[in-house]
Amino acid sequence: MKHYQILIIGGGTAGITVAAQLKRKDKSLSMAIIEPSEKHYYQPAWTLVGAGTYNFKDTERSEADYIPKGVDWIKDYATEIDPDHNSVSTQDSGKITYEYLVVAPGLVMMPELLPGLPEAMEKGIVCSNYTDPEYTWEQLQKFKGGNAVFTQPTTPIKCGGAPQKIMYLAEEYFRRSGVRDKTNVIFATPGTVIFGVPDFANTLNQIIHDREIIFKPFYAPVKIDPDKKEITFKYIKPKGDASKEVEGNTIGEELVGEDEIKLAFDFLHLAPPQGAPKFIRDSIVSIQEGPNKGWIDVDKNTLQHLRFPNIFSLGDVAALPTAKTGAAIRKQAPVLVENLLKLIHTNHVGSAAYNGYSSCPLVTGYSKMVLAEFKYDNVRDSDPLISKFVDTTKEQYSMWLLKKYGLPFMYWNLMLKGKA
């Protein structure tokens, strides 16, 4: 049975960044990463791929090139965590034991949670930058007008802003391709507002107004009919009246029963429902009940597990009340690394604290971006250096350049090497 001082589940953004930072601080650590994938993807650029302004191949690299030197790569699937015996079972490599465990497998797409979605995806009736951004671009180019609907599920998702980024880009593309005047661009979301942080929401509300985008809050998708090309939403506004939503509307909404609204679409982009991988949901390391059920039970500041002190978690799978983004991981990783090393050396967890920082580079057009940065409780948390030169609450060309060129460079060359 193989044994490691530190075992990391997941070789995505979180796992590789943590491994690289740990190795930079202490070369003598015995470490392994469990990761089945041969390829590593820079997913933040998939929004741009879906809008035809970034090459998908440029988002893909070989995983082997990013496993830090001196870290074993167990190319396998983790299937079970046994925190009482400090072991992880794998599909083909047997059990692996550890002294300390970092859980960072990311999340998985769960289209089966939305009835009709798996069939709609199979038939190519819907598109999603989360699964196949090249197909989104294909569909955008074929679109000739009608209802272009953009939506998202009620589950937590990677980068909560992504479903609206492609909507802004698509709206500009429809103007360029001459179909905008016969198109309804509709953003339907279970959320209550366009964005949770007021400073950024003000800008986005103005953009929606100026570009005549139809905003539908409190719209939770409940089913898709791929044959009829219809999506049904449940109207979830407390004490809201769904019948008022469909009165005199120009997009052909139809009331079904008391609180469901059916809408025909000519183009539908959505983020599929998402969740923690099954082996995490089935494990006692995840929260068993309540709103965070299935996500890993960590202290939101130290990232140490609340019940198993030799386990830490970060990234999309951790139960943290902030957006699941690569930017969040960039701030979480050094906190986890400092606290874990302190625990190894002194038997006490360190005092480094993660404040919930996350950022959402909100691309609002082909040369414009609003850099939304925030921390716990939806408090704005803009970078003091960038803020000196740029008002990040407004659309900026410089931020677009950062998104398209700066951030990918930083990701591959600094973050995954443990330098940022």
**Hey, what domains does the chain have and what are their CATH numbers?**
2-107+276-355 (3.50.50.60), 110-273 (3.50.50.60)
C-alpha span between 108 and 125 (Å, rounded): 21
Catalytic position from the list 110, 296, 360, 416: 360
Q: How many CA atoms lie within 13 A of 282 on its CB side?
A: 8
Lay out the sheet containing 230-235: strands in order across.
219-225, 230-235, 260-264, 254-256
Please give the pLDDT value at position 420.
Answer: 87
Q: How many CB atoms lie within 10 A of CB 307?
A: 11
Q: What pLDDT band is residue 383 in, cutting at 50, 70 and 90?
A: confident
Catalytic position from the list 6, 20, 159, 207: 159
Q: What pLDDT band is residue 419 in, cutting at 50, 70 and 90?
A: very high
Q: What pLDDT band is residue 321 in, cutting at 50, 70 and 90?
A: very high
Which tens digit of pLDDT belongs to each residue from 42-64?
Answer: 999 999 999 999 999 999 999 99
Please give the pLDDT value at position 248.
Answer: 84
CB–CB of 6/102 below 8 Å?
yes
Please give the pLDDT value at position 387.
Answer: 80
- Whether the per-residue pLDDT at 253 is higher than 90: the answer is yes
| H or E stretch covering 222 | strand 219-225
- pTM higher than 0.85: yes
Please give the pLDDT value at position 409.
Answer: 97
Please give the pLDDT value at position 376.
Answer: 97
For residue 360, indicate whether it is catalytic. yes
Which tens digit of pLDDT belongs to each residue from 272-309?
Answer: 999 999 999 999 999 999 999 999 999 999 999 999 99
Please give the pLDDT value at position 386.
Answer: 79
Which tens digit of pLDDT belongs to each residue from 213-236?
Answer: 999 999 999 999 999 999 999 999
- Whether the per-residue pLDDT at 262 is higher than 90: the answer is yes
Residues above pLDDT 70, as percent of the chain? 100
Which tens digit of pLDDT belongs to each residue from 327-361?
Answer: 999 999 999 999 999 999 999 999 999 999 999 99
